[in-house]
Amino acid sequence: MVYIDLVNSEKEFNNYLEKANGSKLIYLFNKFTNRISKISINGRTVLLLYRLNERTLKKLGKIFNQINSKTVCLSQNLEENKVLINYLNENGNSILNGRWLFSCLVDKILEYIENAQQEDMQEKEIAILTNDLNEIQAEWIFRIATKYKRLSLITKEVDKFKKIEEHLFDEYGIQLNTTSNERKGLKNADIILNFNFSEYSLNRFNINRKAIIVNFEREVFMQNKGFNGIVVNYYNIDFPRKYFEYEKLINNFSENVLYESIIYKKTNIKNIIKQIENDDINIKRLIGIRGEIKKQEYSKIKKVKTIDKI
């Protein structure tokens, strides 16, 4: 894992290296010479840039050729920088953006919605949208089906999910409703967990007009003007204080992405979920099309006996 930050002032420079005699001169020298500082924080490699131009990118490429890591965590003042992002993508780097962590927080998302609406999630119709069956999605299908019971699976790749359907029925007596029907598949869904459907694909469905749609892979917008529900496109967590050793990074990096970088590792999803539980991660807020989704917005779409449909 490599962390990259663009240092714009002596103050930011001192945040990483502590105040020292001549720190202003060192900062100005690094900026003038287009230097990249390589430091270590809690065993993690941090690269400090002072300028971002073609010379910087060439130096960055040489550093990546020397270190054994292709995964990158960008500071908040770089995460929208298209020049750097395009360079890293062309170089084969994987840039963390909080989306992987988002997909590991499904139970936390459902818990947050349940508390916000003050309604029992057991009474909700939940739908998972996916055309892929990777480890993360398989785990959530199993967990939600066994915990909440009322689960539908919406997919164009029905055959991929035969084994998990059979396992749920044979071992738990749970009948998983798997369909690709655009007219009926999401008509009664209260909570829609969209793992990888595109905006175009999602908007083809007849959707409960008061549903809550959570988009894990990318931002998705509803085109139907009759939709009065909630679209969740991102989130914020409370960063666990137990990782205080990352204090120097907290002010400059998104808490979502910083925590994702800490737990991002080659292990199965069960271990990741367990670590999230041990770290007592909580959702601070869910973010929609117009920013933070206020608590009163959840109350407006609370389930009633008759649900309006698009």
Q: Could you report the per-residue pLDDT of 252-278, keeping only the tens digit for each?
A: 999 999 999 999 987 899 999 999 999
Q: Does residue 241 lie within any of the structural domains?
A: no
Reply yes or no on whether the pLDDT at 309 is more than 70: no
Same domain, 90 and 109: no
Taking residues 284-293, report their average pLDDT: 95
At 56 the pLDDT is 94
Q: Contact at 8 Å (CB) between 110 and 104? A: no
The share of the chain scoring above pLDDT 90, in percent, equals 72
Within 8 A by CB and 6+ apart from 9, the residues are 27
At 303 the pLDDT is 61
For residues 92 and 245, which has the higher predicted lDDT (pLDDT)? 92
Categorize the per-residue pLDDT at 224 as very low, low, confident or very high, splitting at 50, 70 and 90. confident
Q: Does residue 227 lie within any of the structural domains?
A: yes
Same domain, 109 and 184: yes
Residue that is last in its domain, among 76, 96, 116 = 96
Domain total in the chain: 2
Same domain, 88 and 118: no
> Residue 76 sits in which domain range?
2-96
Q: Does residue 180 lie within any of the structural domains?
A: yes
Q: Contact at 8 Å (CB) between 137 and 195? A: yes
The reported pTM is 0.90
Same domain, 145 and 70: no
Summary mean pLDDT of the chain: 91
Q: How far apart are CA 170 and CA 228, in angstroms?
A: 39
Categorize the per-residue pLDDT at 23 as very low, low, confident or very high, splitting at 50, 70 and 90. confident
